[in-house]
Amino acid sequence: MSRKPVLTFVSVVLAAMAVAGWRLDSGAGFPAAGAPAATTVQSSAADQEWYCSVATAVSGGQAAGEIVLANSGRDTLTGTVTVYGNQSQTPAVRAFSLPPWSRAVLGEQPVLTAAFAAATVVFHGGGGAAEQEISGPLGVSVTPCASRPSANWYFATGTTQPGASLVLALFNPFPENALADLSFADSQGPSAPAEFQGIFVPSGGLVTIDVGQHVVQIDDIAATVRVRSGRLVASELQLDAIPSQAGLSLVLGAPAPAGTWYLPDGVEASGVSESLHLYNPAASAAAVSIDLNLARGQAAPFHLSVAGGTEAVVDLARQTRIPHDDPYDIVVKARGAPLVVERTVTAVAPSTRTGTASMLGGPTPVRTWLTGAGGASTSQDEWIDIFDPGHRAATVTLSYLAGGSHPALSGLRRITVPAGGRSALRMGDHIQLADLSVLVSSTVPVVAERDLYQVGSIGISTSLGEPLH
């Protein structure tokens, strides 16, 4: 990777060929030579837009990207996927028609070759959602695509230690140019390297930044992207080729800090290391409480102070108050200043899982969640973890997108999740389906997490689903 931020200006060609079906990257569909070009694709007020901001798009890439599209409604959805590269390529546009209650996949590299790629998804109507899935020799990772840009983006953790690569991606598919400032923080305080101030991201541009070329050998570092002008979407790609900590993770930034964060799943187990990363981007200190609600036992809450402009790490694997093999959910609350909270997991032998994962917590429970990417098969083990943080028990039904219908998963119709409790559900116990999109519908607001484990190979992915309503 370059030692300097890579700036790429690309334009979108408006012509596209409609392609319907489960995969959108097969066959033709590129614009014809000489087709008219414009800076960005324009959409109407009735459209839904999603922004998926980084993956590799070269043969044999370390984080090959696929865009997973899901239609959770009763009407057919049409729309376009536009894939941008960071090397001055003309973006590739794919049009699609997605039947009710169905999903489709677009591989980015088959339609456009670039060191890094990003994508914009436009649905002509409601009920659609998009996720970014990456995969490579270090495993897999899934993260929701952004449904809107933000004036700021926050990341609570990352590492630039030897063997690790940390890439920040700034994506601007909008009509106006953008300027951004980057700053970082660790336990010692904030820093704002001069080379990361006033980064220019042109309209239709994708900027990728190799953080380790400038912020060297830091075990744990948080980051803020402040958009000085224009609009951006920011994601963080972590590649760890460290023997004791191998894996990859893709995290969409948090658009804002919050006073409360929920993480539905956690466990202290042999071979598993789990940490919470608490980033306080404000100037004032935050008084933080961390409550762990165990499935069987009890654990006293943690209390700590996180100074302004710093990041604190709580190593849950080293806490004697947490019983072995007793799963828990986590609630983090901050007073004095809001926080950004991520959880990291590393699994090695004797754990049956192998890999690393990072996931942003959820600040807002909702009644309906959608996980577009996933699968329950001999090669992948999928779990859905549901946490009810309220005072009333939740009645929850899990259904899946079957193409024209969304039947409930066997045994997962109207299950009860107690108030303040959690339910961990293994999809393979209820269905065998390699391409599985799950709808979580609850009578009260809950938080739903999707965990994917590769069977017999490296790979862990943890992330929240897409909150629908």
Q: pLDDT (tens digit, 9 = 90+) per residue, 411-432?
A: 999 999 999 999 999 999 999 9
Residue-level pLDDT at 447: 98
For the stretch 136-185, pLDDT in tens is: 999 999 999 999 999 999 999 999 888 889 999 999 999 999 999 999 99
Which residue intervals of the chain bear CATH 2.60.290.11? 1-254, 260-467
Residues 78, 6: Cα–Cα separation, whole Å: 33
Kind plus residue range of the DSSP H or E element containing 111: helix 108-111
pLDDT band at 43 (very low <50, low <70, confident <90, very high): low
What SS3 state is found at 194? helix
How far apart are the two ends of the chain, measured CA to CA in Å? Answer: 40
Q: Which CATH class is domain 1-254?
A: mainly beta
Q: Can you give the pLDDT at residue 177?
A: 95
Q: Cα–Cα distances in Å, from 386 out to 106, 172, 381?
A: 28, 34, 17
At 8 the pLDDT is: 33
pLDDT over 80 (residue 23)? no
Q: Which of 406, 400, 385 is nearest to 465 (CA)?
A: 385
pLDDT at 298: 86
- As a whole-number percent, the residues of the chain with pLDDT over 90 amount to 73
| Distance between CA atoms of residues 54 and 179, nearest Å | 19
Q: Answer yes or no: is pLDDT of 270 > 50.
A: yes
Say how many residues make up the chain. 469
At 455, list the tokens: 């069977």
**Residue (of 130, 110, 162) closest to 52 by Cα position:** 130
pLDDT band at 22 (very low <50, low <70, confident <90, very high): low
pLDDT-derived band at 287, boundaries 50, 70, 90: very high
Q: In terms of Cα–Cα distance, which of 72, 173, 162 is closest to 120? A: 173
Query: Residue 446 in contact with residue 367, Cβ under 8 Å?
Result: yes
Model confidence pLDDT, tens digit, residues 204-227: 999 999 998 888 778 899 999 999
pLDDT tens, position by position, 316-356: 988 888 888 889 999 999 999 999 999 999 999 899 899 99
CA atoms within 13 A on the CB side of 265: 24
Of 229, 248, 230, 234, whose CA–CA distance to 166 is shortest? 248
Q: Are 301 and 289 in contact (CB under 8 A)?
A: yes
Predicted pLDDT at 465:
95
What does the pLDDT read at residue 26?
47
- Tell me how far apart the alpha carbons of residues 448 and 424 are, in angstroms, rounded to a whole number: 10
The amino acid occupying position 340 is: V
Is the bond into 389 cis (omega within 30 degrees of 0)? no
- How confident is the model at residue 150, as a pLDDT? 95
Q: What is the pLDDT of residue 40?
A: 47
* DSSP one-letter string for 224-260: EEEEEES-BEEEEEEEEEETTEEEEEEEEPBSS-BSE
Domain 260-467: what homologous superfamily?
TM1070-like (2.60.290.11)
Helix (H) or strand (E) holding 191: strand 189-191
Taking 80 as the threshold, does the pLDDT of residue 399 lie above it?
yes
Look up the pTM and report it: 0.90
Strands across the sheet with 302-306, in order? 260-266, 328-335, 286-294, 302-306
CB 152 within 8 A of CB 97: no
Q: How far, in Å, CA of 159 to CA of 289, rounded?
A: 25
- Structure tokens belonging to residue 35: 């087709």
E strand map for 376-437: 380-387, 394-400, 415-417, 422-426
Q: Calculate the average pLDDT of the chain.
A: 88
DSSP symbol at 391: S
The span from the CA of 231 to the CA of 171, in Å, is 9
Give the H/E segment covering residue 107. strand 102-107
DSSP state of 324: T
Give pLDDT tens digits for 66-111.
Answer: 999 999 999 999 999 999 988 777 889 999 999 999 999 999 999 8
| Per-residue pLDDT band at 25 (split at 50, 70, 90) | low
- H helices, E strands: number in the chain: 1, 36
